[in-house]
Amino acid sequence: MINIFLSASVPLPNRDRKFFETADVFLIREAIRALVEVVLPRGHITFGGHPAITPLMSLYAKTAKLGSDRISIYQSAYFLGKFPRENDDFADVRYTEAVPDDLGRSIERMRIEMLTSRKFDAAVLIGGMEGILDEARLFREHNPQALVLPVPATGAAAAIEYNEGNYPQHLANEISFASLFRRSLLPNPLDG
């Protein structure tokens, strides 16, 4: 079974404009859909709950008729009372302890707990804001042998990570997401 960490979000217009202005919301959604369809039949996806991503993961897992038990969501108790209702659609929702009155440390605690929860084969970066860049850095620290796969066509932080990193050139304009994930993430792509 493959273990994938998903780092994704839809950039907000009232935050850093460099993420919002390059984001392609349609491609963010399509990349997440393709990841669910490719990975869940043969693996597990872990991600930090996000108000825009959690509903998409729920919808795509239901549409693909794939078990919600193959998805783990991490949430910081800092956001208690503000979780998306779609959290209830998943069998494995893990709430991490909040650091009182400290959003940044609460999120970092959640990320570290999430990224050390299992041995990951890869991280997939889709869209996003500064949190995706933070998660990519932490992922490398805790999973140094694992693949980091930015999806730059989705824009935003994934494109920034791609442009600032040392990644294969063929990723630059790749929008055949299912094919990309099969080739990059599955041990025997022709079997799945």
Alpha-carbon distance of 41 to 61, in angstroms, equals 10
Instruction: With respect to residue 28, please indicate whether it lies within any of the assigned structural domains.
Output: yes
Instruction: With respect to residue 39, please indicate whether it lies within any of the assigned structural domains.
Output: yes
| Range 113-139 average pLDDT | 97
Instruction: With respect to residue 138, please indicate whether it lies within any of the assigned structural domains.
Output: no
pTM for the whole thing? 0.94
Model confidence over 31-74: pLDDT tens digits? 999 999 999 999 999 999 888 899 999 888 888 776 667 999 99
* Residue 32 φ then ψ, to 5°: -65, -45
Alpha-carbon distance of 188 to 174, in angstroms, equals 20
Alpha-carbon distance of 73 to 30, in angstroms, equals 20
pLDDT at 68: 67
pLDDT at 74: 96
* pLDDT beyond 80 at 190: no
Instruction: With respect to residue 3, please indicate whether it lies within any of the assigned structural domains.
Output: yes
Beta carbons of 145 and 133 less than 8 angstroms apart:
no
* pLDDT beyond 90 at 187: no
The whole-chain average pLDDT of the chain stands at 92
Tell me the residue range of the domain where 18 lies.
Answer: 1-116+145-181
pLDDT at 84: 84
pLDDT-derived band of residue 25, with 50, 70 and 90 as boundaries?
A: very high
pLDDT at 189: 53
Beta-strand relationship, 92-96 and 2-9: unpaired
pLDDT at 157: 97
Instruction: With respect to residue 127, please indicate whether it lies within any of the assigned structural domains.
Output: no
Instruction: With respect to residue 122, please indicate whether it lies within any of the assigned structural domains.
Output: no
| Range 82-96 average pLDDT | 88
Instruction: With respect to residue 186, please indicate whether it lies within any of the assigned structural domains.
Output: no
Number of domains in the chain: 1
pLDDT-derived band of residue 128, with 50, 70 and 90 as boundaries?
A: very high
Instruction: With respect to residue 12, please indicate whether it lies within any of the assigned structural domains.
Output: yes
Model confidence over 46-56: pLDDT tens digits? 999 888 899 99
| Range 127-154 average pLDDT | 97
